Structure 1
Amino acid sequence: MNVIRLEFIRFIIVGIINTLIYYGIYLMFNVMLEINYMASHIIGFAISLIVSFFLSSYFTFQVKPSLKKFLQFPLTQLFNISISSVLIYLFVEYLFIDSTIAPIVSLFITVPFTFLITGKILKK
């Protein structure tokens, strides 16, 4: 199996773990604490970003994490948070998709692009 294919499979595994963390935090803030869906999205994203960095470094791309990469990693996720935030807003406000489902739908669009960007940063 080629390296990129294995990395993508590991990326998906990390993504599933990270998504569960993000979504659990999102639901906790949005549903249980009744915090606005967009604020809940950003809080969940920030916490899952830290987890994602370490899982992506050690497991997905099998590189040693460094402070420099940690500081650059959020830049790779800037695309993700920007596009997913816009998509979630559009899904909730204009397509009337429930705010508990909208973040999951947005993942299908953002994941492939995030894989490419993350790999470029972590493998430098």
Structure 2
Amino acid sequence: MPVRLLQVVRFGLVGVVNTGTFYGCYLLLHRWMPYYPAYVVAFVLSMIGSFFLNTYFTYRTRPTWRKFLFFPLTNLTNFTVTSVGMYVLVEWCGVGEKPAPLIAAAAAIPVTFLLSRRILLTREQPAPDREPALTPATRDAG
């Protein structure tokens, strides 16, 4: 199976696990706090879990603070694409209000996948004041 296809499959599995984690945390926290704080805490916890699952399992790369700080952009993108998609489906395409969120969420998966891949597979650039890493190409060139 090609690497990118394998990543898509693993990305989908992480999404399922992440959704279950979010909902489980929400239900557990809602026992001790009002629904909205429970939602926010569960959302943040599931986003952190999603970061580590996607880093280690989906893309098989190491986590960095830079990746961690940029990773919430994937959730913002997902929310934006899903929200716009839902509006377009209901208002312009006449799709019912009940299936529209599921269709819009499915449409957001490729965009979210590509963005998370871009963020989590970014190569670390050497600091300007340091020598670049010694690789076979640079060793042979010198």
TM-score, L = length of structure 2: 0.62
Percent identical residues: 39
SS in 2 for 1:58: helix
Distance, in Å, in 1 between the alignment partners of 2:25 and 2:83 is 16
For residue 2 of structure 1, what is the aligned residue in structure 2?
2
Q: Are 2:75 and 1:77 aligned?
A: yes
For residue 122 of structure 1, what is the aligned residue in structure 2?
120
Assess, with a 3 A threshold, how the Cα gap between structure 1 residues 48 and 31 changes in structure 2: closer, same or farther.
Answer: same
Distance, in Å, in 2 between the alignment partners of 1:25 and 1:112 is 26
Assess, with a 3 A threshold, how the Cα gap between structure 1 residues 75 and 62 changes in structure 2: closer, same or farther.
Answer: same
Assess, with a 3 A threshold, how the Cα gap between structure 1 residues 69 and 3 changes in structure 2: closer, same or farther.
Answer: same
Distance, in Å, in 2 between the alignment partners of 1:102 and 1:43 is 26
Assess, with a 3 A threshold, how the Cα gap between structure 1 residues 109 and 26 changes in structure 2: closer, same or farther.
Answer: farther
The answer to which structure has the higher helix fraction is 1
TM superposition shift of 1:108: 2.1
For residue 16 of structure 1, what is the aligned residue in structure 2?
16
TM superposition shift of 1:11: 0.7
Whichever residue aligns with residue 22 of structure 1, its letter is F
TM superposition shift of 1:76: 2.4
Higher relative contact order by CA 8 Å / sep ≥ 6: 1 or 2?
Answer: 1
Q: What pairs with 1:1-124 in structure 2 (closer than 5 Å)?
A: 1-27=1-27, 35=35, 42-84=40-82, 87=86, 95=97, 97=98, 105=102, 107-124=105-122
Assess, with a 3 A threshold, how the Cα gap between structure 1 residues 84 and 31 changes in structure 2: closer, same or farther.
Answer: farther
SS in 2 for 1:45: helix
Verify the 8 A CA contact 1:45 1:81 in the aligned structure 2. no
Whichever residue aligns with residue 15 of structure 1, its letter is G
Paired residues, what number? 114
Q: Could you report, residue by residue, the CA deviation over 1:53-105 in whole angstroms, capped at 9, with x for unpaired residues?
A: 00000000000001111011112221123344675xx98xx93x4xxx987x2
**Larger Cα Rg: Structure 1 or Structure 2?**
2
Considering only aligned residues, what root-mean-square deviation do their CA atoms show, in Å?
Answer: 3.5
